[in-house]
């Protein structure tokens, strides 16, 4: 049997990766989140997938690695290797426009502003628009939320609380 060309293998692997979701943000797959970084197809067709954690202590990472292995096996790459990289560090900049739209549709405000910039310690926070009603009259309730990647906000217009995807 002729082996499929490397480009075709790579396409099928990326396709399989879009079926893996971050358990903490079920609506997003790991490709549009920027967690799946690289697909390497070796000379003999061996496959390696490189993933990176959103946060150092992200508890979802081991589950994601297991799910990646399973999705690849289902796509016919049972021998694929899954490896972890810390560099370059994940940033919310890698969320695709599609991912940002999906976050908003789930009631999670997407990140605002420039990550990595040294915000003044007590400088003005970013203006975060309410994902329910669009109002910009919102306030931060807590720096940290139910998962490592979220903070908690409240809308002063519609009075609904909502999650904000932290900008890093």
Q: Is 158 in the site for Zn ion (CB under 5 A)?
A: yes
Q: How far is the C-alpha of 73 from the C-alpha of 109, rounded, in Å?
A: 34
Longest dimension (CA), the chain: 64
The distance of Cα 92 from the centroid of its chain, to the nearest Å, equals 8
Q: Which is nearer to another protein, 35 or 47 (CB)?
A: 35
Element of type H or E holding 67: helix 61-74
Q: Is 57 in the site for another protein (CB under 8 A)?
A: yes
- Among residues 119, 139, 156, 159, which is the contact residue for another protein, using CB under 8 A? 119
Q: Which is nearer to another protein, 55 or 75 (CB)?
A: 55
Phi/psi of residue 92, nearest 5 degrees: -65, -15
Q: Is 50 in the site for another protein (CB under 8 A)?
A: no
Q: How far is the C-alpha of 30 from the C-alpha of 62, rounded, in Å?
A: 13
- Among residues 65, 75, 112, 133, which is the contact residue for Zn ion, using CB under 5 A? 133
- Among residues 23, 135, 141, 143, which is the contact residue for Zn ion, using CB under 5 A? 135
Within 23-82, the residues that bind Zn ion by CB under 5 A are none
Q: How far is the C-alpha of 108 from the C-alpha of 91, rounded, in Å?
A: 17
Q: Which is nearer to another protein, 33 or 47 (CB)?
A: 33
Strand partners, 49: 39, 82
Give 126's Cβ-side CA count (13 Å radius).
Answer: 19
Q: Is 124 in the site for another protein (CB under 8 A)?
A: no
Q: Is 97 in the site for another protein (CB under 8 A)?
A: no
Query: Residue 119 touches which of another protein, Zn ion, none (CB < 5 to 8 A by kind)?
Result: another protein
Q: How far is the C-alpha of 150 from the C-alpha of 133, rounded, in Å?
A: 19
Q: Is 111 in the site for another protein (CB under 8 A)?
A: no
Which residues form the interface with another protein (CB under 8 A)?
53, 55-59, 85-91, 115-116, 118-119, 121-122, 141-146, 148, 152, 166, 168
């Amino acid at each position: 049997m002729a082996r499929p060309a490397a480009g075709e293998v790579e396409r099928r692997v990326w396709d399989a990766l879009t079926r893996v979701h971050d358990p903490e943000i079920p609506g997003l797959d790991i490709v549009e989140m920027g967690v799946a970084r690289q697909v390497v197809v070796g000379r003999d067709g061996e496959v390696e997938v490189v993933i990176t954690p959103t946060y150092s202590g992200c508890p979802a990472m081991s589950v994601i690695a297991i799910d990646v292995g399973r999705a690849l096996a289902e796509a016919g790459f049972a021998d694929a290797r899954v490896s972890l990289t810390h560099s370059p560090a994940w940033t919310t900049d890698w969320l695709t426009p599609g991912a940002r739209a999906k976050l908003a549709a789930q009631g999670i405000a997407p990140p605002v502003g420039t990550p990595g910039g040294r915000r003044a310690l007590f400088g003005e926070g970013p203006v975060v628009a309410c994902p329910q009603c669009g109002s910009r009259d919102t306030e931060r309730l807590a720096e940290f939320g139910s998962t490592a990647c979220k903070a908690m906000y409240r809308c002063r217009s519609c009075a609904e609380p909502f999650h904000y995807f932290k900008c890093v």
